[in-house]
Structure 1
Amino acid sequence: MTPDQLFVRRYRDLAAYNAWANRRLYAAVGRLDDGQYRADRGAFFGSVHGTLNHLLVGDRLWMRRITGTGDEPARLDTILFRTLPELAEARTAEDARISAHMDGLDAATLAAELYYANVAGARFVQPLASVLDHFFNHQTHHRGQLHCLVSGFLGNEGAPSLDLIAFQRESGLARPG
């Protein structure tokens, strides 16, 4: 594989990991009762419900900046969906959108500069690859918060492994030597 092919594959793999981790996390969240799901546990976005909504808000904001299409929530704490089933359906659709977009990228596009404004209106420019590094890291950051919240309710055995290496082994990106 050429360096350019590896560069492009990285973001396709991260999109696949993102969808895999979200499926696993949503399955665990589905075992919470409504009180647990909505309880303000002191996380940055309060509850499991608030944090799941924030993850979708962030993805939609960044995908809008990257693609020029899609929703553009006005606030980072916007509650896009009131119920877990609605949120799960939207999450699955957004993960498919992210994967489809990553599948269409090439090395030149990844190296190109992206001009965007944040929610406060400040303007920035940086290479798309750098933006995508943040995009996928942001998701991992908040999934870690969610994992902690779920573990608090269901115990460690109730919270799934979200380790990247577990995904890589399960998907065949890593194999026994």
Structure 2
Amino acid sequence: MTPKEIIHLSHYNAWANETLYLACSQLSETEYKLERKSYFGSIHNTLNHILVGDRIWFGRLENVLENLGLGDILYDDFNNLSSARTIEDQRIISFAEKITQARLDGVLDYKNVAGDFYSDPMDIIIRHIFNHQTHHRGQVHCLLSQTDVPPPSLDIMYYMRAND
């Protein structure tokens, strides 16, 4: 993994989040917060979880402790969550634009939410962060398919074609 790849993934990630949030903005609040059969229950809760995960991981990367639980609801309403998502995506892009190959080749020592200490390769952690978002965006995509709002295409190929 190279810094160039991380920059590319960070921009794709922001595009995918913006595209998904645009679709979710078409839902009524009732549909958006409706408890469904999914790990985090609702679209709202799942989107909150993605943001929580990013804040935890980027807090570790930036040495800023985030005292968050994986199921925490950071924002109770869509508009504030959407604004926070945009800010977080800019944080991720900024991080990506500054990362060096030496840092990518290093390790990160951190404590997980259960309090256990780990030392993991930085490139694997970065892959995990983007994979985590993709995984849960897929869950939201599935939840959207249970509404009248068509789930958007989020494949990286669509991003590349939209940004040529």
Structure with more relative contact order (C-alpha pairs < 8 Å, separation 6 or more): 2
* Superposed displacement of residue 169, structure 1: 2.1
* Superposed displacement of residue 15, structure 1: 0.5
Equivalent residues, number = 164
Query: Is it true that 1:49 corresponds to 2:44 in the alignment?
Result: yes
Contact kept, 8 Å, 1:14 with 1:136, in 2: the verdict is: yes
2:163 maps to which residue? 171
Q: How large is the RMSD of aligned CA atoms in angstroms?
A: 1.2
* Superposed displacement of residue 74, structure 1: 2.4
* Superposed displacement of residue 168, structure 1: 1.8
Contact kept, 8 Å, 2:52 with 2:68, in 1: the verdict is: no
Q: TM-score, normalised by structure 1?
A: 0.89
Equivalent runs, 1:15-26 vs 2, <5 Å: 15-26=10-21
Q: Which runs of 5+ in 1 are unaligned?
A: 1-5, 173-177
Identity %: 42
Cα separation, 2, equivalents of 1:107 and 1:27: 34
Q: Summarize deviations over 1:79-118 as a string: whole Å, max 9, x none.
A: 0001000000000000000100110011111011100111
Cα separation, 2, equivalents of 1:88 and 1:154: 20
Q: Summarize deviations over 1:128-173 as a string: whole Å, max 9, x none.
A: 1110000000000000000011121025xx211000111122223x
- The residue identity in structure 1 corresponding to 2:51 is L
Query: Is it true that 1:29 corresponds to 2:39 in the alignment?
Result: no
2:152 maps to which residue? 160
- Counterpart among 79, 87, 92 of residue 73 in structure 2: 79
SS in 2 for 1:124: strand
User: Which runs of at least 4 in structure 1 moved beyond 6 Å after TM superposition?
Assistant: none
Bigger Rg over Cα: 1
Contact kept, 8 Å, 1:37 with 1:49, in 2: the verdict is: yes
Contact kept, 8 Å, 1:21 with 1:162, in 2: the verdict is: yes
